[in-house]
Amino acid sequence: MILQVSSSPHIRDRSSTPRLMLDVVIALIPALIASIYMFGYRAALVTAVTVGSAVLFEYISRKVMKRYNSISDYSAVVTGLLLAFNLSPTIPLYIPVIGSFIAIVIVKQMFGGIGQNFVNPALAARVILTLSYPSAMTRWAILASRAKDAGAAAVNGAAGGADLISAATPLYLLQDSGGQVTSDMPTYLHMFIGFKGGCLGEVPILALLIGIVYLVIRKTIALWTPLAFVGTVGLLTFLGGQDPLYHMLSGGLVLGAFFMATDYVTVPLTRSGRVIFGIGCGLITSLIRLFGGMTEGVSFAILFMNLLTPHIERLTTPVPFGGRAHEKQ
Amino acid sequence: MFKLGHFSGGVHPKSNKNTHFYPTRRLDDFPVVRIPMSMHIGPPCTCIVKPGDHVLVGQVIGEADTPMAVPIHSSVSGTVKSTQREVASNGRSMTVVTIESDGQHTMHPDIRPPVVENRDDFIRALRESGLVGLGGAGFPTHMKMKPPPGKEPDVLVINAAECEPYITADFRQCAEHPDEIIDGIMKVMHYMDIPLAQVGIEKNKPLAADVLEYELVKLNLSSNLQPNIKIQRLPTRYPQGAEKMLIYALTGRKVPTGGLPHDAHVLVLNVSTVRFISKYLKTGIPLIRKRVTLDGSAIQVPCNVNVPIGAPIPDVVEAAGGLHPGTKDGKVKVIMGGSMMGVALDRLEATIIKHNNAILVFGEKEADIPDETQCIRCSRCVTSCPMHLMPTMLDNMARNKDIDGLNHYHVMDCIECGSCTYVCPAKRFLVQSIRNGKSYVRQAMAKEGTKK
């Protein structure tokens, strides 16, 4: 008989890192299916290339750095999926590969791998790509066969792939019209289902919501950050004199708030910290959307708040049960 | 009178109370008992027997010469075989008295009910009985009865929460001896002059609460007594039975960090402790037996057993039905105490001690230790911590021996309940790491002390 010893506790629950990551992958699948429906095979192709290269870079970098192989924790798949969801369906296929390299090798593995990156890898990659390839990253398009649903002004002329025609994003249209929703812009329903221009994963709000419900039921994510984020955007755009619902449904807000601002690694550990994080993201997003030169600010907002995470965490360190807060020194 | 509190955090492990409905089995025939001279917090007792001595049941074999210590009694009658220094299961080196039982169980003639007229008599009697807190920590009970001036308790909290998975020893105590439990509570209230007792029981043991309430009704009908004892059903959530959480749940008071229950004017006793007090005042038989739960996947017949203190653990397991045949060649984990806070034994020579409440034997599958992976900052440890600490931060700092950081994040407030480690998806050994962190802080404090 061999006696096994270890420190207590001697029982563990069934959760595991791979299972949590797999939950996120499962939650993103409805949106992936919807975007393939919306954008055609290009969406599948862009996703496959991004996820494939992300996993490959993860494998190679772990090998080169002589660390244990970590591709089986699915975190690279999640990063790949999220990065693909931030790309336009018309993007030349070498750009996602560069994006995966930035996300996995530079942002994640060079800082120590899973749990160690200080900003969201997929978002950092998106921002770097947007700055490096501005036109390719913002050439939005929609499948010609779905165009008639997407509103007249959203679609102008043919461009991109065979049956993809270019389409402006609702936020672009909104900025163009001085913040007023006009009749030739996509309706709420179209925005909700996803008949509009935009990134792969930004578009199908309904499908994203299905995934969000799954994550909440599985208790993989808590809604503190996303609700604070979306709520702040709604409130501030309303105060700014624009249509809050239109703002909440457009751009990367839902994808960003529920899938990026809930990324475990780069948000504060404390609950109050997460609420502050969400409010901060909402504030910066609204400021960029209302006053900035760019049409969209979700990714910059989250990245900026990622950098503030350690500070928020320090400010919201909980007081122990029965204890008192530290006195200021 | 009180606003009941709900602590935040905690976890819901599978309760596995497999031994709930089986009456306790009394096991007596152990050829040898081995009694360590320290079964309490505080300095060990001085052994006053030598090899060849004949001892009787209840005879003092270890004398308590410091205020914190309590005497140790022989649990069998027979001949002392040896008195050797050994390293016990808790890592402390102490004298262990080995007694060969003559199988007669002859009671020592001096054993008679103590004469108790006032509080001083009561406290002296408790000390002479060898009583320590039977919930698990082993804090000498008589010390709890002497709060510093100004900190006299006004509530007696009885811990029958039993939030640890598997363990049902306290539940069986309630089911089998409700009369003695109520009597013990009344004795403590009387001598300690406490106007109210609150008994906390988790909701998943409704029977325990029912029998105690029924006992109170019976008492009212038979002798027209209406003691101010409230039976409270508490949410089933680990660690509901942790002292600070239980006090908060029952009184709404928070024990200040680094403090003891008397700082919140509360006296906390385990349900088995009060039952022992009642029995001791009636019979005078000191603490020589213990009810422990035997469970775990490797145990053939999970049950509660009532065994003499000092009974060797392998003998107890064998007498109660033994291990599953398949597990004897494989890997097993023998845990003294519960699955969340118990100690995994590294040798089988250990014996049943006073504050032991369970022996769990896990088979190969449960004994397996998961591989530790990198923290993904999911914050589950933070939300599950009943003490509102940040376990993953402490883990990091302990591994880096960052004393200032450990202090800043209140490492010493950790109650080592294991909730953080239980929920960790990266399977990190957070509690182990925090324990290391605590010892670094203690070392640093000792160093600081010698400098000054």
Per DSSP, chain B holds a count of helices (H) and strands (E) of 14, 17
Q: Kindly report the average pLDDT of chain A as a whole number.
A: 86
Q: What pLDDT, on a 0 to 100 scale, did the predictor assign at position A311? A: 94
Strand ranges, E, within B102-207: 155-159, 196-202
Which of B256, B366, B376 lies nearest to residue A265, judging by beta carbons? B376
What is the value of pTM for the model shown? Answer: 0.90
Regarding whether A193 and A99 lie in a shared domain, the answer is: no
Q: Is the pLDDT of residue B14 over 60?
A: yes
If we measure between CA atoms, which residue out of B431, B204, B298, B170 comes closest to residue A12? B431
Terminal Cα-to-Cα distance of chain B (whole angstroms) = 48
In this complex, is the C-beta atom of A23 within 8 Å of any C-beta atom belonging to chain B?
no
Q: What backbone torsions phi and psi does residue B116 show, to the nearest 5 degrees? A: -125, 115
CA distance A125 to A300: 11
Task: Write the pLDDT tens digit of every residue in A302-313.
Answer: 999 999 999 999
Regarding whether A58 and A23 lie in a shared domain, the answer is: yes
Q: What pLDDT, on a 0 to 100 scale, did the predictor assign at position B183? A: 95
Whether B425 sits inside 8 A of A320 (CB atoms) is no
Number of folded domains that form chain A: 3
CA distance B245 to B264: 12
Question: Which residue is closest to A327 within chain B, CA to CA?
Answer: B408
Residues of A in contact with B382 (CB under 8 A): 269-270, 318
Regarding whether A61 and A169 lie in a shared domain, the answer is: no
User: What is the interface size between A and B, counted as CB pairs within 8 Å?
Assistant: 159
The amino acid at A307: L
Q: What pLDDT, on a 0 to 100 scale, did the predictor assign at position B8? A: 85
**Cβ-contact B394, B406 below 8 angstroms:** yes
Regarding whether A131 and A22 lie in a shared domain, the answer is: yes
Q: What pLDDT, on a 0 to 100 scale, did the predictor assign at position B201? A: 95
**Cβ-contact B261, B270 below 8 angstroms:** no
Distance from CA of B55 to the nearest CA of A (A): 34
In this complex, is the C-beta atom of A113 within 8 Å of any C-beta atom belonging to chain B?
yes
Element (H, E) at B275: helix B271-283
In this complex, is the C-beta atom of A9 within 8 Å of any C-beta atom belonging to chain B?
yes
A216 lies in some domain: no
Q: What pLDDT, on a 0 to 100 scale, did the predictor assign at position A249? A: 85
Q: Is the pLDDT of residue A237 over 60?
A: yes
Whether B392 sits inside 8 A of A271 (CB atoms) is no
Task: Write the pLDDT tens digit of every residue in B244-260.
Answer: 999 999 999 999 988 99
Regarding whether A131 and A35 lie in a shared domain, the answer is: yes
| Range(s) of the domain holding residue A189 | 141-197
Q: Is the pLDDT of residue B451 over 70?
A: no
Structure tokens belonging to residue B225: 């007594």
Regarding whether A121 and A56 lie in a shared domain, the answer is: yes
Q: Do the interacting molecules here have an ipTM over 0.85? A: yes
Which of B165, B344, B410 lies nearest to residue A6, judging by beta carbons? B344
Task: Write the pLDDT tens digit of every residue in A169-196.
Answer: 777 777 777 667 776 677 788 778 777 7
Q: Is the pLDDT of residue B305 over 80?
A: yes
Residues of B in contact with A15 (CB under 8 A): 380, 423, 425
CA distance B90 to B93: 9
Which of B259, B329, B427 lies nearest to residue A12, judging by beta carbons? B427
Distance from CA of A156 to the nearest CA of B (A): 44
Regarding whether A193 and A155 lie in a shared domain, the answer is: yes
Regarding whether A155 and A129 lie in a shared domain, the answer is: no
Q: What pLDDT, on a 0 to 100 scale, did the predictor assign at position B90? A: 67
User: What's the mean pLDDT in B26-38?
Assistant: 92
Residues of B in contact with A318 (CB under 8 A): 382, 388-390
10 Å CB burial of residue A263 (0-12, 13-18, 19+) is: buried
Residues of A in contact with B339 (CB under 8 A): 8-11
Q: What pLDDT, on a 0 to 100 scale, did the predictor assign at position A161? A: 42
Q: Is the pLDDT of residue B419 over 90?
A: yes
Question: Which residue is closest to B380 within chain A, CA to CA?
Answer: A269
Task: Write the pLDDT tens digit of every residue in A26-50.
Answer: 999 999 999 888 888 889 999 999 9
User: What's the mean pLDDT in B187-208?
Assistant: 94
- The CA distances from residue B183 to B24, B126, B131, B189, in Å, are 21, 15, 17, 10
Residues of A in contact with B392 (CB under 8 A): 269
Sign (positive or negative) of CA dihedral A149, A153, A156, A160 = negative
Q: Is the pLDDT of residue B206 over 70?
A: yes
Whether A10 sits inside 8 A of B333 (CB atoms) is yes
Q: What pLDDT, on a 0 to 100 scale, did the predictor assign at position A146? A: 61
In this complex, is the C-beta atom of A325 within 8 Å of any C-beta atom belonging to chain B?
no
Whether B376 sits inside 8 A of A320 (CB atoms) is no
Only one residue has tokens 């400098």, namely B451
The amino acid at A12: R
Distance from CA of A3 to the nearest CA of B (A): 5
Domains of chain B: 119-283 (3.40.50.11540), 380-451 (no CATH)
**Cβ-contact B307, B290 below 8 angstroms:** yes
